[in-house]
Amino acid sequence: MDSPIKALLGSSADQFVDVKIRWLMNRFASLRAGGAGLRLLDYGCGTATLLRLLAPQLRGAALLGCDISTGMLDEARRVWPAGIDQPELSVQDGASTSVAAGSCDFVVISAVLHHVPVELRRDVYAEIRRVLRPGGHIVVFEHNPLNPVTRYVVARTPIDQNAILLRAREVHDALGDLGFGNIRTGYLMFAPPRLHALEGLERLFGWLPLGAQYAVTAQRSPDLPA
């Protein structure tokens, strides 16, 4: 958020994540219903901002997070709001997690893959496939390199110094190669997050590959081996 462009578009990091949460809720009826009985993993969760903002809406779900950074996970625990059950947080070993195979209904991976070396991305997809139950959903949120503002901001953000942006087609093809089905792509953040009233643009132009972010969703096929 030190970027003046980011500060112009939204007043806090939470505002950017909230856009993704609203997209998730619009896309999946089982989440809108409160997530009763569901297990949702935020893969590469960082300080668990997405889980923290999801938690009040998914009180019926079990929330999990994993990350390679123990410092990030410690910070997630420190800032977690009182009165809400903390998620189950665990440290990754590279792409691998300690999450049980076939135990998750949803896995969200948000703004993580552009930090993963290209040759290791398949390992990430394979691990997510392993932890998903048959019929479970993967949701990939990523920066859209076709959006010029996105490219400008990423090029000037220190944490993204070594980032390699990926197009939605790369995600789509990789998931298809691993046997995922029902693969769909939508685009979001056509308007600045601070202008919440204009978010209806997402529904009108979600097919247009110019949003600042994209989301690729897919399902683990019921007959897909682990």
Q: Residue 21 maps to which CATH number?
A: 3.40.50.150
Q: Helix H segments across the chain?
A: 4-9, 13-27, 29-32, 49-54, 70-79, 121-131, 148-155, 168-177, 200-205
Looking at the domain assignment, is residue 226 inside a domain?
no
Q: Which pLDDT score is estimated for 114?
A: 97
Residue 152: Cβ within 10 Å count: 12
Q: Which pLDDT score is estimated for 8?
A: 44
Nearest to 61 by CA among 39, 79, 76: 39
Tell me the residue range of the domain where 177 lies.
Answer: 4-219
* Beta-bridge partners for 108: 42, 139
pTM, two decimal places: 0.90
Q: Which pLDDT score is estimated for 156?
A: 86
Q: Report the domain count for the chain.
A: 1
Looking at the domain assignment, is residue 225 inside a domain?
no
Q: Contact at 8 Å (CB) between 66 and 99?
A: yes
Q: What is the pLDDT of residues 67-114, one digit of tens each?
A: 999 999 999 999 999 999 999 999 999 999 999 999 999 999 999 999
Q: Contact at 8 Å (CB) between 116 and 44?
A: no
3-state secondary structure of 24: helix
Q: Which pLDDT score is estimated for 192?
A: 72
Q: Which pLDDT score is estimated for 130?
A: 97
The pairing of strands 132-143 and 62-67 is: unpaired
Looking at the domain assignment, is residue 224 inside a domain?
no
Which backbone phi and psi does 100 adopt, to 5 degrees?
-65, 145
Residues in the chain predicted with pLDDT less than 50, given as ranges, are: 1, 5-10
